């Protein structure tokens, strides 16, 4: 089936504005034109993409899946066009970024070091935070979070492959207290949990079994908002902890931690660098997007 990118653009506008009127205003066309474009796209695909009521518009499951796949691709196309138009402009100035504490690939060092070497006229100011807030209102150029928590009106570019969370423990802890074989057994163990702030309950540990998602309240004996406290305590045999696989990977490879319950820990959507405007990006942000964009290993599929 031939792809009509004009229809795709209308679909994305509707998905982000959550209304035909808002999409029409954004695109500079009539509301009727937006409605007709969506109808043509649905007819060509043979599936409903949008649920319409007298007061609201929402995406169907097929529409949500299409949006998740198409939006990053269109963002990359527009970024490539912008780069071609402004290829001679040199990136300069300060970039303010709000980055999740678990975005390991982005904040572990090599990516930022190589960027500053490639673009010495750009200064990066990073705030590591797990709070959810409006990055535009707070004066940030961009942020890095898991894709599932980014607002739909933001433009998002992948900066990592698929992720997954897992349970880990030190061999010394397992030798003393045994190895759990199912997530429901975690309540019998000493667990090290994470919370974003003192007045917020510790996060429940999330799993999947036979296609069904569920979570476990482990009642952690140790709770912190610092991932490195969790890692160091677990390595010392202080208990089981739960977090991103790529955070634990160096410790697993050195035998300091052992992954547990892996069959209940499926992969999920990756980290994205997200920002507000899709047009006229400053060269400094465009350079970071291109530098940080995730590229799958040669011969592998893009996730």
Give tens-digit pLDDT for 33-71.
888 999 999 888 889 999 877 667 888 888 888 888 888
pLDDT of residue 54: 61
Q: Where are the domains of the chain?
A: 5-85, 93-162+269-293, 165-264
CB–CB of 244/104 below 8 Å?
Answer: yes
pLDDT of residue 102: 82
**109-118, 145-154, 237-246, 263-272 — which is least confidently predicted?**
145-154
Query: pLDDT (tens digit, 9 = 90+) per residue, 197-207?
Result: 788 888 889 99
Round the average pLDDT of the chain to a whole number and report it: 85
- Of 263, 246, 147, 269, residue with least CA distance to 208: 263
CB–CB of 257/235 below 8 Å?
Answer: yes
pTM tops 0.75 = no
CATH C-level class of 5-85: mainly alpha
- 165-264: same fold as 93-162+269-293? yes
Per-residue pLDDT, averaged over 280-303, amounts to 72
Q: Domain 165-264 in CATH: superfamily?
A: Periplasmic binding protein-like II (3.40.190.10)
Instruction: Tell me the HSE value of 142 on the side-chain side, using a 13 A CA sphere.
Output: 26
Distance (Å, rounded) from C-alpha 175 to C-alpha 165?
23
Architecture field, domain 93-162+269-293 = 3-Layer(aba) Sandwich (3.40)
Going by the DSSP 8-state scheme, the letter that residue 5 receives in this structure is: H
CB–CB of 260/166 below 8 Å?
Answer: yes
Going by the DSSP 8-state scheme, the letter that residue 301 receives in this structure is: P
Per-residue pLDDT, averaged over 90-118, amounts to 89
């Amino acid at each position: 089936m031939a792809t009509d990118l004009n229809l795709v653009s209308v679909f994305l506008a509707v998905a982000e504005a959550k209304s035909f009127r808002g999409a029409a205003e954004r695109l500079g066309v009539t509301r009727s034109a937006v409605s007709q474009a969506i109808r043509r796209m649905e007819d060509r695909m043979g599936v409903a993409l949008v649920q319409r009521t007298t007061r609201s518009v929402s995406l169907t499951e097929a529409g949500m899946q299409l949006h998740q796949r198409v939006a990053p691709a269109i963002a990359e196309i527009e970024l490539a066009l912008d780069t071609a138009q402004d290829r001679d402009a040199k990136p300069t100035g300060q970039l303010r970024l709000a980055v999740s504490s678990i975005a390991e690939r982005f904040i572990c060092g090599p990516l930022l070091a190589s960027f500053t070497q490639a673009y010495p006229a750009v200064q990066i100011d990073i705030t590591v935070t797990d709070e959810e807030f409006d990055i535009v209102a707070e004066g940030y150029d961009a942020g890095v979070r898991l894709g599932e928590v980014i607002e739909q009106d933001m433009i998002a570019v992948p900066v990592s492959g698929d992720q997954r969370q897992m349970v880990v423990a030190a061999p010394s802890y397992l030798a003393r207290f045994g190895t759990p074989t199912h997530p429901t057994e975690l309540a019998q163990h000493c667990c090290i949990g994470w919370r974003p702030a003192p007045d917020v309950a510790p996060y429940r540990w999330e799993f999947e079994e036979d296609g069904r998602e569920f979570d476990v309240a482990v009642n952690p004996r140790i709770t912190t908002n610092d991932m490195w406290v969790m890692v160091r305590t677990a390595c010392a045999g202080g208990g089981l902890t739960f977090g991103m696989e790529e955070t634990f990977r160096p410790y697993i490879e050195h035998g300091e931690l052992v992954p547990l319950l892996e069959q209940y820990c499926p992969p999920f959507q990756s980290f994205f660098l997200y920002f507000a405007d899709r047009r006229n990006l400053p060269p400094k942000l465009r350079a970071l997007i291109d530098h940080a964009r995730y590229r799958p290993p040669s011969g592998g599929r893009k996730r």
